[in-house]
Structure 1
Amino acid sequence: MIFKTLFHKAQFHPVAWGVIIGTFLSRTGFFMTLPFLGIYLGKEKGIDPATVGAILAISLLVGTVSSFAGGALSDRLGRYPVMITAMGAWSLVLVGFAFASETWIFFVLSALNGLFRNVFEPTARALLADVTPEDRRTDAFNARYFAINLGGAIGPLIGLKLGAGSSSSLLPFLVSAIIFALYAVLLVVFMLLFKLEAKEKSAVVSINQMARIVFTDKVFLYFLLGNIFVAGAYSHLDTTLSQYIGHDRVEAYSFLFIVNTLAVLIFQYPLARLMKRFSSLAALKIGCLFFGLGLFGFGIFDNLFLLACSMVVFTIGEILCFVVGDVLIGEIAPGHLRGAYYGASGFAFIGQSASAWVGGILLKYLGFDQGPLIFAILMLLTFIAFPFYQRGQHILEQRQKLKVSCEKTTEAIV
């Protein structure tokens, strides 16, 4: 039923399909290795949890800056050149992970991983929006998110078979690097076959202009502030949770990761239909609540079934916040500044970076036996997003009322 809904209605531009299929391939390679990186660094390299958290956090911190700049680069240089360069360089970073042995090298590789990933991602989203009519963008982003999670369902299984998270992690990293290189080649082919229309000069924005967008569009600003804490909550899936459960139950962590992915595939479209009854920011507030409750469940339950239930709750929050978040950006972003808005949305990675570090510190100083306390703290940090979404929703509603009032006044004059 999911596949019928996805493919029967979704007749996209060939470039859009290239982005969606390429997303599936690259995310399969990504999930084969990088979710297990925290386990690998702790168990096989003997690095302490706080340092592991810092290594993972620097990737997210660098991602904040590179995502912000990535939108401007793609507006100036074109989507294809930025995506091809980022994906090709990203494949080399994965080769580096396979052969690294020193802690400082892992810091460098993690930073480069964040750099290339977060130059590529907002550019890919902007390209998808560029070639998709406005009335089909929700379908396109849903398809992209479906591809991400289908890759997430397959990737960990392949990764475990190839030895991810163990001393034999060389092969998974190399296979992932090959997949990324193939995606770069696919993008070259699409660049040659499908020329994009030249952007209007007004669409080329500087970094300073992007910053002004963030601080003058109040709805966007409050969305970003809330997303800092929501993105931080999501980061614990790959960082804090991977260390907390994966340090002695790698198979259990892998199972939960697969539950997360399957839950997305099952609930994504029903939730998308249900949330059409609510405004985007209202859906984000509901997602924030589910994110926090799911996190708390990870800390209080040991039973695998209850942990899986917590993961389903966590995943509902993920779907609501991330799919709806992309739709909200499309609603409030001027068409000629789309790359800037998607690039500026990378500010949320501040929350991922800080939360990954905080999670590692909590594990180190409170201990792995204090799960309820650790994840209660993480839940409360997630809930800080709620008042920002509430304020953004209020401003957006006032803006919409003013727009309706102006339209009625214009009609009366005419």
Structure 2
Amino acid sequence: MNAITKRLTRTWTGFHPVAWGVIIGTFLSRTGYFMTIPFLGIYLGKVHGIDPATIGAILAVSLFVGTWSSFAGGALSDRFGRYPVMIWSMAVWGLVYVGFAFADSPWQFFLLSAMNGLFRNIFEPAARALLADVTSEKQRADVFNARYFAINLGGAIGPLIGLKLGIGGTSSLLPFLLSATIYGLYALLLIGFRMKFKQTRADSRPHVKAESLSARQIVKVVFSDKVFLYFLLGNLFVAGAYSHLDTTLSQYIGHDRVDAYSLLFVVNTVSVLLLQYPLGRLMKRYSSMTALKVGCLLFGLGLFGLGTSEHIIMLILSMMVFTSGEILCFVIGDVLIGEIAPEHLRGAYFGASGLAFIGQSASAWIGGMLLKSLGFSQGPLIFGILMVLAFAAFPFFHRGQLLRNRPAGDREPAANPSMDSDTLENSRSTC
């Protein structure tokens, strides 16, 4: 353990100060997020007496709006710079939490939930693009590993603080206001970094290139990148596989083994913290697409084990396999985008990757329908189907890998008649 700690320290001390700012801010913001949002459904029902169907719709609108706003957030950061988009979205996002504290009617919660999804998915692609901007290609896997570590650390601490502060009860005002304060502090931290590190690529020339492209042209450039398209298609199935942790598995295992499901949730969080660094080092020996292919297979195998195992030890081992797939697919996915995206359109690429949330929504629905139609006694069949759906990502990742390994000229985005030759050259210059 000491050797691992020393290697981590040696690796992480080489990060750009701005990268550290984003990583620390990620920990703070995710702590605030997990302090309140996972308990929002309980809060709406217990405190405001809203019926379950309406609560479900309120929670769903956040995901729906966020899915379609993600691309816009990334594209805006390409045009106007990372810092302005991140600062303003974070500041307004904090005000959303103030709204949750004082809202008292369903329509207000609908609006706030939509705004929560909107500003989260405007901020996130800009933050991920900023990390890629200030980090060398050699260190990107490490920096995105550190970011994912911060996310999961916040996910472990946030709910504990929320429970301690009484979230979901009559004293829920304090957790929401504390989350809003955290978001406000993060916005101030970003302002400080912008003032101190004015010459980082977060505000420099690459974004000027994006100004020569209309929104329609940006969309065409991004979605004519075939390597990225195959990654995005595979990611739909990967995101869908992950969604079963909170949806299908919570119903299947939690309906008669609540304690076991609670333990598995803890195992998932702890496994991320323990396995992330060793897996990251191992997969540095292979290409990003290879790591993604291995990850989707582990996702499927883990799901099948969770749906067919009865003994708690086998359930824990299956969750560790599932979590290994989660680490590889989500961390390496960000690394891959940083590798293939043109520098001046990096935000748009990270934003477009948010379309994978469609896979989460669809898979959650599919899992529920399978449980309803086949019954809880058909675990092997249900999770066998879900395993095959996770495996469906493999051919897309493999096809993307084959295209990426071709000579550079064969994998350039297709020509767009509505763009002149200079604009096309700019859009390809850093592919």
**TM exceeding 0.5:** yes
Tell me how far 1:164 sits from its aligned partner. 4.4
* Alignment of structure 1 residues 27-42 onto 2, 5 Å: 27-37=30-40
Please point out which of 170, 185, 193 is paired with 1:190. 193
What residue number does 2:418 align with? none
Q: 1:12 and 1:294, CA in 2 relative to 1: closer, same or farther beyond 3 A?
A: same
What does residue 176 of structure 1 align with? 179
Mapped to 2, the partners of 1:335 and 1:341 lie a distance apart of: 10
Q: How does 1:208-223 map to 2 (within 5 A)?
A: 208-223=216-231
CA distance in structure 2 between the partners assigned to 1:293 and 1:119 by the alignment: 33
Q: CA deviation at 1:223?
A: 0.2
1:282 is matched with: 290
The answer to whether residue 19 in structure 2 is matched with residue 16 in structure 1 is: yes
Task: Summarize the Cα distance change of 1:51–1:251 in structure 2 as closer, same or farther, 3 Å threshold.
Answer: farther
**Structure 1 partner of 2:8:** 6
RMSD of Structure 2 on Structure 1 (CA): 3.2
* 8 Å CA contact retained: 1:232, 1:352: yes
Q: Which of 70, 73, 76 is the matching residue for 2:76?
A: 73
Q: Which moved more, 1:385-394 or 1:187-196?
A: 187-196
Structure 1 residue identity aligned to 2:239: A
> Is 1:328 the equivalent of 2:331?
no
Shift of 1:115: 1.0
1:296 paired with 2:304, answer: yes
CA contact 2:97–2:177 (8 Å) conserved in 1? yes
Q: How many residues align?
A: 402
Give the Cα–Cα distance (whole angstroms) in 1 for the partners of residues 176 and 310 of structure 2: 31
Of 380-389 and 364-373, more deviation after overlay is shown by: 364-373
So what's the TM-score if we normalise by structure 2?
Answer: 0.81
Residue 281 of structure 1: SS of its match in structure 2?
A: helix
Superposed displacement of residue 147, structure 1: 1.4
Q: Which moved more, 1:359-368 or 1:156-165?
A: 359-368
Establish whether residue 394 from structure 1 lines up as the match of residue 397 from structure 2.
no
Give 3-state SS (helix, strand or coil) of 1:12's partner: coil
Q: Which runs of 5+ in 2 are unaligned?
A: 412-431
Bigger drift between 58-67 and 160-169 goes to: 160-169
Q: Decide whether the 8 Å contact of 2:35 with 2:162 is kept in 1.
A: yes
Q: Which residue of 2 aligns with 1:269?
A: 277
What is the Cα deviation at residue 186 of structure 1?
A: 1.5
Say whether residues 1:149 and 2:152 are aligned partners: yes
Summarize the Cα distance change of 1:134–1:231 in structure 2 as closer, same or farther, 3 Å threshold: same
Please list the CA deviations of residues 333-379 of structure 1 after superposition, one character each: whole Å capped at 9, or x if unmatched: 22232222212222212212333444455566667776555544433
Q: Is the 8 A contact 2:78 2:344 kept in 1?
A: no
Instruction: Find out whether 1:199 has 2:205 as its counterpart.
Output: yes
What's the offset of the Cα at 1:107? 3.7
So what's the TM-score if we normalise by structure 1? 0.84
Q: Distance in 2 between matches of 1:340 and 1:126?
A: 9
Q: 1:192 to 1:397 in 2, by over 3 A?
A: closer
The 2-side partners of 1:52 and 1:375 are apart by: 28
Residues 288, 385 of structure 1: 8 Å contact kept? yes
In 1, are the aligned partners of 2:75 and 2:347 still within 8 Å (CA)? yes
User: Sequence identity of aligned pairs in percent?
Assistant: 71
Q: CA deviation at 1:287?
A: 0.8
Please point out which of 158, 162, 173 is paired with 1:159: 162
* Selected match of 1:94 from 93, 97, 101: 97
Partner in structure 1 of residue 325 of structure 2: 317
CA 1:243 to 1:46, structure 2 compared with 1: closer, same or farther past 3 Å?
A: farther
